[in-house]
Amino acid sequence: MQTLFVVLAIILLAALLLWFVFPATASSLIINSGIRALGLRQHRAQIGDTQFRWLESSAKGPALVMVHGLNGDASNWIMMAPQLRAYRLIIPDMPPFGESRITSNGEADYSMHTQAERLDALMLHLGVDKFYLAGNSMGGYITGDYASNHADKILGLLLLSPGAVKSVSFASYFDADLEAGLNPLRVENPEGMERLMELCFSKQPFVPAPLKKMAYKRMLSINKECDMIFHNMLYENPGIEVMLADSPIPTLIYWGKEDKVLNPEGGPALQEVMQNAELIMPEKTGHVPMLEYPKVTGKAMAAFISKQEAKLHSETKNRN
């Protein structure tokens, strides 16, 4: 018994040392263990100009592709895996985020359209020609561009606080930065990291200091790319309500009422211009519902897909 206690104490001390001295390694081990426990596997491949990394499940149901937002990565979606276990989940890191990188020479193109075409190249690589497509924030913008150019491939859209409905105003506290042509979501110091967390959540979750430090360093390393992406979204593209105007694609718009990054009024405005969109606006929910309330959000997404699958089955049966 005494020997067992000593061994456990050594393991605990080693884990604490790893966590506080090498937080990046420890965080990676924890996240990767969680990914495997949730039934997801990591994949990598060079596809066009991109060294892609994505997560994928082995379920036999219809494919559900999920695209993260600015400064996010594939792990933003993984806590919903239990609610979405019936579907073949495909969750990419969109470059320059996570572990996906542009490998071509010269300045990389991170425009929404080019990102959408990179996503299409990934789908072609995987041999997936029909799927549900979900996007949050920047990922919603990429999703909107994709759907406007590849509508025949989309079984349904799931838009979680998508960027950006430009027919409604932005938050007033962004005005000074926007008037100066700056990215109000830029993180330049630890205080900026705290501000971003406060903006993204209605109630900020606890994040261990080493993990927060690692995320902060990662954001600093891609500030230039984030500025380029933000400028493209805001100044070089129409709003998503223009991209998806009159779209008949079955769509779930899921927009938290306490979103402080994008105006929740964008939800009704987007629904109004689409032919077949339903809107859910949960209370006490911020900009990243899949992180804040993964179980509730995952159930809403699964219910929407289940309903669409039932309709498709009924239509196929009637044709036959």
Please tell me whether residues 209 and 295 are part of one structural domain.
yes
Of the listed ranges 34-43, 104-113, 121-130, 294-303, the one predicted with least confidence:
34-43
pLDDT at position 4? 39
Please tell me whether residues 12 and 105 are part of one structural domain.
no
Token readout for 85 is 């276990």
Out of 98-112, 128-142, 210-224, 229-243, give the one with best mean pLDDT: 128-142
Is the per-residue pLDDT at 167 higher than 50?
yes
Q: Which single residue is written with the structure tokens 């989940």?
A: 89
Is the per-residue pLDDT at 11 higher than 60?
no
Please tell me whether residues 173 and 270 are part of one structural domain.
yes
Is the per-residue pLDDT at 45 higher than 90?
yes
Domain that holds residue 113: 41-319
Please tell me whether residues 93 and 26 are part of one structural domain.
no
Report the residue count for the chain.
320
Token readout for 228 is 């380029």
pLDDT at position 208? 73
pLDDT at position 16? 44
Q: Per-residue pLDDT averaged across 315-319, rounded? A: 77
Please tell me whether residues 205 and 273 are part of one structural domain.
yes
Give the integer Cα–Cα distance in Å for 150 and 229: 22
The DSSP bridge partners found for residue 64 are 89, 132
Do β-strands 88-92 and 131-137 pair in parallel, antiparallel, or remain unpaired? unpaired
Say how many CA atoms lie within 13 Å of 152 toward its Cβ.
1
The tens digit of pLDDT for each residue in 177-201 reads: 777 777 888 888 888 888 888 889 9
State whether residue 163 is helix, strand or coil.
coil
pLDDT at position 10? 43
- Domain containing 314 — which CATH number? 3.40.50.1820
Please tell me whether residues 189 and 66 are part of one structural domain.
yes
pLDDT at position 44? 97
Please tell me whether residues 282 and 311 are part of one structural domain.
yes
Q: What is the mean pLDDT of the chain?
A: 88
Give the integer Cα–Cα distance in Å for 130 and 64: 9
Q: Count of domains in the chain? A: 2
Please tell me whether residues 99 and 248 are part of one structural domain.
yes
The DSSP bridge partners found for residue 239 are none
The tens digit of pLDDT for each residue in 199-212 reads: 899 988 777 777 77
Q: How confident is the model at residue 29 (pLDDT cuts 50, 70, 90)?
A: low
Share above pLDDT 70 across residues of the chain, in percent, rounded to a whole number = 89
pLDDT at position 190? 85
Please tell me whether residues 54 and 5 are part of one structural domain.
no
Please tell me whether residues 117 and 169 are part of one structural domain.
yes
Q: Which single residue is written with the structure tokens 């949960």?
A: 282
Give the integer Cα–Cα distance in Å for 208 and 188: 20
Cα torsion for 292, 22, 13, 32, to the nearest 10°?
A: 50
Token readout for 303 is 């219910």
Indicate the DSSP class of residue 300: H
pLDDT higher at 88 or 10: 88
Helices (H), 22-158: 23-37, 112-126, 138-149
Is the per-residue pLDDT at 286 higher than 50?
yes
